[in-house]
Structure 1
Amino acid sequence: MKTFNNKNFCLMLFSIAAITLLASCKKSFLDRDPQGTYTSDTYPYPKGSGPFDSEIFATYDILRSYDASGSGFIAATGIRSDDADKGSTPTDGPTSLEMDNFNITTSNVLANDLWRGYFNIVNKSNIVLDKVAKDLDPGTPAESKVFAEAEAKFLRGYAYFMLVRLFGRVPLIDKVFDDPVAQSNVAQSEPAATYTLIESDLQFAGTNLPLSWDPSKFPGRATRGAANGLLAKVYLTRQNWAAAQSAANLVITSQQYNLSTPYDDIFKETGENSKESVFEIQATANLTEKRSFGSQFASIQGVRGTGIWNLGWGFNIPSPQLEGTYETGDPRKARTILYAGGTSVFGEVVPTGLPNTRYNHKVHSNPATRNALLDNFSYWMNIRILRYADVLLMYAEAANEVGGTANTTAALDALNSVRKRARGTTPGILPDITVTDQAQLREIIRHERRVELAMEHERFFDLVRWGIAGQVLQNAGKNFVTGKHELLPIPFAQIEISKGVLKQNFGY
């Protein structure tokens, strides 16, 4: 089995009192330490990090929890879109089916999972910020305090960006409450106020986070590029085109990222934290701890079969609409859609007779890793949250909307760099785009986002921010109601906890 970068920064909740001094790690995947565990070389805390690590790691840990990146995340970002269907068997996953058909009730447990997961990240981030603000120890390195504040604000900004897109009006909680009951009774704020906090948090993070962390110690920690890339997406969502272009350009000119990773390799275990990666949620496993430090993200979407092909639940399968949208010969189609009876990127022949004919190829793990770990369920697979190609396409979209000859040229350059990587060495496919008409180029960029980022939790949010969700999703046969289904319902369980302070979204 191939080896690749050690991940000994594990983003998991742990007690400082229980820290074990570990020997230095080998490079083998199976020997990777759980991220967030100190080693004899990094105790009491690594250079460039600091005494706030336990709270920061606890916050990262929630990112890969079931509430934040499990079935709810997959259903809300993927199954609701026209790129995916529920999958699995007809009677399996009724709450995911509600998402697929837009028959979503206020008691949908997946919506409640998302609410809890992202507010948990908000609360943990606030704990970090509170600890930093109250730290008067003259021995605390100033750099550690700045990095901790920036990292916590990045995580809080990400969590609130998810919450405002999922639910619209949400409580704005930016401090630690001594009384948990009081925190449960915070009224909802308008989205504009939430976006103001998100932008402020990400601006601070984008200025104060490091350009990079030591990859041998801290792969996956938020960087300046991650903050500015996410900020670009926030600005795009609010149609602040010039600011989006500027934020994306900060990532591009940082020289930290490039498109050197072949598209086929991005989603393999060996492609984790590559030059393509701007931010991804970390996961790992070994023979002793196969799932404790991992995520169910890949398993929920894995091929649903028997024996060696019992790889997961089979949810979130590529739709016929996605299947038909690729240009002739586009290699990204084969890397995105794994067909029953077809061949995987690792050379396996997929059996026929499965519950579904298509599965998400981007979450398919290496059989060598499965065999080595004696586990089929791929908890060790990282979750790609923000890729460099996404940043380039955001830049292209923003530049085209700003307009002008120079910006059109810049948009085409960014767009065509993504297409060039996709076509690889295959001649005659995915030719460079030369269209300069703004409206036509807008549609081309939108299409490129769809095929480049297919099955990567972007499509539904893109449709909503473009204002075309109703038209597109109704055409795909979904029961989408414009003015209602752009948002999930406020979970009834949360309204009960708030004693009626929280108010339901329109139409529910």
Structure 2
Amino acid sequence: MKIFRITQYICIIGLALQNMSCSNDYLEETTYGEVAPSEMTKPENVERAIISAYSVLNGQFDGASNAYNSPDSNWSFGDVVSDDAYKGGGGTGDQNNIHQMEIYITNSTIIDVERKWMALYEGVKRSNEAVRLLNASEGFDASLKEKRLAELHFLRGHYYFELKKIYNHIPYIDESAETVEDYAKSNTAFTSEELWAKIEQNFQIAYDGLPETQTEIGRPTKIAAKAYLSKCYLFQGQWQKVYDATSEVMQSSYDLLDDYQDVFLPENENSKEIIFSVQHTVNDGQPSNYNGSIGDRLTAPGGPYYAQYGFHRPSQNLVNAFKTDATGLPIPNNNTNLIANDMVDPRLDLTVGRPGIPYKDLGVVYEENWARDLATYGAFGPKKRIVSANSSAYINVWPYVNALNYYIIRYAEVILWRAEAAVELDKLEEARQLVNQIRTRAANTTPVQNLGGTAAAANYKISIYESPWIDKAKAREGVHLETRLELAMEGHRFFNLVRWGKAEKVLNDYLAVEKTRRTHLTNAKFTAGTNEYWPIPQRYIDGTPKGMVTQNPGY
């Protein structure tokens, strides 16, 4: 059972931050229903409150259908604003708000900035309320209470982690908040280091209280909390802590699947590689299938089997990055467009829809006319996280969602985090071996076949790094490039560039070339000191006492 897909129980939670479509007050209370306080603390209602804290993980927190402006996958926040993807869709005016993000002229009033903030703080609020109810419940099973408190701290840690990496300077509110007014807080009350410490504290409490395994799919485990702690350390560059924390994760039962393409099949979405994910379901009775991949519904690639939304389109730069040399190794900073018979990493055609290459198991090749706006965004389409139209996990009517989970942390990432730490700790050979684990899996993966199934669909060539790594800068480059290839189109690229401290150079170098290919990027420019983070929503600033909230630099 996927535990948190029971969103009909959301109505028991009060103190909603605000529904931006029907109020001018960012902190207005929305009443979902009235339940007597004595009823709220009954164990069954406390459990429902806990489920409601899970239920907004997918970015859907109200009755609107635009969770694509607050997607759990961060396709717009992590890929479109990076060198991995273009916005796509029907030109720059289609979801122009995301176009503004893509060319780095984001402002504090666009819907994505507001809805992502609202979705994440709704998760914080529901986690806080559930903690309060759980602590107030006299009849709740004492042996279960610690585990449920640990789960709620894990969830709250996740919501705050996302807020920190997207907005940087954020208000921190815990379960002591009792009223709507308690959610109007300064975003500079804590330093960045203090905020990270609070986020880590949530995951430490989760680690201390969570079991090794869970009987219900979707609830985090002790190792999931340790992995998330690793990620917190990673974003702070605390390399010894990353190294130590990943040691425990890598000694656990989690592991790589043998075949890369199997990772992204719905039947394997809770496999040994997936440490924590957002549980999506369809045909579960929820209106409009809002428990599915509602945040990704615009990414349908078009063609004869899918809706013609056509967003989240892979960039030429990303496709070029998968080119390999004669030995099967990647070519750093390759900007030469692929031509017929070029050798490529087999993960390319599992990640990107390319003209002439079979698409999923549909018995057809991907064609450039699948692209909704070929002239603006080019011929490539998303593929890795698109579910086959033949699968029962795909809904071929509006809102065109699927049941494939979104992976917040998978084991391959942990290997790459440890490789990063190993480089920075001068353990270069260990880093090479770790990267080679990822590349070996890619090499052993069944490559995409031609329609007849008689041969590989392209000239695939991939190999491991045989020569010892003795140059630290080159080792770091090797880990960074492998991270891009392995995690492409999964919503991580932009945040990695920022934490690596090279967003300005990489993205402006990318734009210098891409502007010769894609005219929609003509006015794009990444500005260091501003574009690493998104602005604080203006309506949150306006809805708090004057001077309480400080806007991020440059906005």
One-letter code aligned to 1:234: C
Deviation at 1:342, TM superposition (A): 3.2
Distance apart, 1:432 and its partner CA: 3.2
- Is the 8 Å Cα contact of residues 14 and 54 (structure 1) preserved in structure 2? no
* CA–CA distance in structure 1, aligned partners of residues 245 and 308 of structure 2: 38
Partner of residue 365 from structure 1, selected from 365, 387, 411: 387
Counterparts in 2 of 1:4-83, with a 5 A limit? Answer: 7-15=1-9, 52-66=46-60, 70-72=68-70, 73-83=74-84
Q: Aligned partners of 1:359, 1:76: CA distance in 2, in Å?
A: 18
Partner of 2:99 in structure 1?
97
CA distance in 2, matches of 1:269, 1:312: 22
Quote the residue 2:162 is aligned against.
162
DSSP-derived class of the 2:364 partner: coil
Report if the CA contact (8 A) 2:233-2:239 is conserved: yes
1:117 corresponds to: 119
Partners of 1:262 and 1:51 in 2: how far apart?
42
Provide the residue aligned with 2:228 in structure 1: 230
TM-aligned CA distance change 1:487 to 1:288, over 3 Å: closer
Distance in 2 between residues matched to 1:62 and 1:245, nearest whole Å: 31
CA drift of 1:341 comes to 4.5
User: What does residue range 63-462 of structure 1 map to in structure 2 within 5 Å?
Assistant: 63-66=57-60, 70-72=68-70, 73-90=74-91, 91-137=93-139, 140-188=140-188, 189-214=190-215, 218-255=216-253, 257-286=254-283, 289=286, 291-305=289-303, 308-311=304-307, 313-326=309-322, 327=324, 328-346=343-361, 347-353=363-369, 354-355=371-372, 356=374, 357-369=379-391, 374-375=396-397, 377-403=400-426, 407-424=427-444, 429-433=462-466, 434-462=468-496
1:288 shift after superposition: 5.5
Deviations 1:371-390 (A, max 9, x none): 98553713322111111000
User: Residues 408-442 of structure 1: CA distance to partner in whole angstroms, max 9, x if unpaired?
Assistant: 34322222111110111689622235323222111
CA distance in 2 between partners of 1:432 and 1:240 (Å): 26
How many Å separate the matches in 2 of 1:180 and 1:370? 42
Tell me the alpha carbon deviations over residues 141-184 of structure 1, each in whole angstroms, 9 at most, x when there is no partner.
33311111111111111111111111111111012423212322
Counterpart-to-counterpart distance in 2, 1:344 and 1:458: 24
Greater Cα shift, 407-416 or 56-65: 407-416
Alpha-carbon contact 1:98-1:104 (below 8 Å) kept: yes
How far apart, in 2, do the equivalents of 1:371 and 1:126 lie?
33
1:484 aligned residue: 530
Unaligned runs of 5+ in 2: 13-42, 325-342, 447-459, 512-523
User: Alignment partner of 2:407: what SS?
Assistant: strand
Distance 1:369 1:322, change over 3 A: same
Specify whether residues 16 and 220 from structure 1 end up closer, same or farther in structure 2 by C-alpha distance, changes over 3 A only: closer
Confirm or deny: 8 A CA contact 1:261 1:271 kept in the other structure.
no
Q: Which runs of 4+ in 1 moved over 6 A?
A: none
Cα displacement string for residues 84-143 of structure 1 (whole angstroms, at most 9, x for unaligned residues): 111112121100001100011111110111110111111111112222333344xx3333
Say if 1:298 and 1:363, in contact at 8 Å, map to a contact too. Answer: no
Distance 1:17 1:122, change over 3 A: closer
Q: Aligned AA for 2:55?
A: D
Distance 1:113 1:374, change over 3 A: closer
Confirm or deny: 8 A CA contact 2:76 2:312 kept in the other structure. yes
Give yes or no for contact 1:229–1:248 (8 Å, CA) kept in 2: yes
Q: How far is the alpha carbon of 1:10 from its aligned partner?
A: 3.8
TM-superposition CA deviations, 1:454-483 (whole Å, max 9, x none): 011111111111110000111121411000
For residues 66 and 74 of structure 1, what CA distance do their matches in structure 2 show?
Answer: 15
**Offset, 1:399:** 1.6
Q: Which residue of 2 aligns with 1:498?
A: 544
Question: Contact 2:394–2:401 (CA<8 Å) still a contact in 1?
Answer: no
1:42 counterpart residue number? none
Letter in structure 2 aligned against 1:489: P
Change (3 A) 1:496 1:142: same
Give, in whole Å, the separation in 1 of the partners of 2:403 and 2:384.
14
Q: Distance between the aligned counterparts of 2:504 and 2:445, measured in 1?
A: 38
8 Å CA contact 2:90–2:309 kept in 1: the answer is no
Structure 1 position 491, deviation (Å): 0.9
Give the direction of change, closer, same or farther, for the CA distance of 1:486–1:334 in structure 2 (3 Å limit): same
Verify the 8 A CA contact 2:68 2:298 in the aligned structure 1: yes
| Paired letter, 2:81 | R
Quickly say closer, same or farther: Cα 1:287–1:374, change in 2 above 3 A: farther
- Once superposed, what is the RMSD of the aligned Cα atoms? 2.5
Q: Which runs of 5 or more residues in structure 1 are unaligned? A: 1-6, 19-48
Q: Which letter maps to 2:434? A: A
Asked whether the 8 Å contact 2:69–2:111 carries over to 1, the reply is no
Q: Distance in 2 between matches of 1:16 and 1:187?
A: 27
SS for the counterpart of 2:56 is helix
Q: What is the TM-score normalised by the length of structure 1?
A: 0.85
The residue type paired with residue 51 of structure 2 is F
Contact 2:429 2:469 in 1 (8 A): no
Aligned equivalents of 2:67, 2:405: Cα separation in 1: 11
Counterpart Cα distance in 2 of 1:225 and 1:409:
26
CA contact (8 A) 1:210 1:223 kept: yes
Counterpart-to-counterpart distance in 2, 1:151 and 1:287: 24
User: Structure 1 294/392 Cα, relative in aligned 2: closer, same or farther at 3 Å?
Assistant: same
Tell me how far 1:185 sits from its aligned partner: 4.1
**SS of match in other structure, 2:129:** helix
Kept in 2: contact 1:66–1:295 (CA 8 A): no
| Larger deviation, residues 429-438 vs 156-165 | 429-438
Moved more, 410-419 or 429-438: 429-438
Aligned-partner Cα distance in 2 for 1:204–1:178: 22
Scaled by the length of structure 2, the TM-score of the pair is 0.78
Can you list the C-alpha shifts for 1:260-309, whole angstroms capped at 9, x where unaligned?
Answer: 2411111121221111111111111128656132222332211135xx43
Name the count of aligned residue pairs: 461
Q: Deviations over 1:352-380 (max 9, x none)?
A: 42324111111211222269855371332
Whole-Å Cα distance in 1 between the matches of residues 171 and 499 of structure 2? 22
Aligned equivalent of 1:25: none
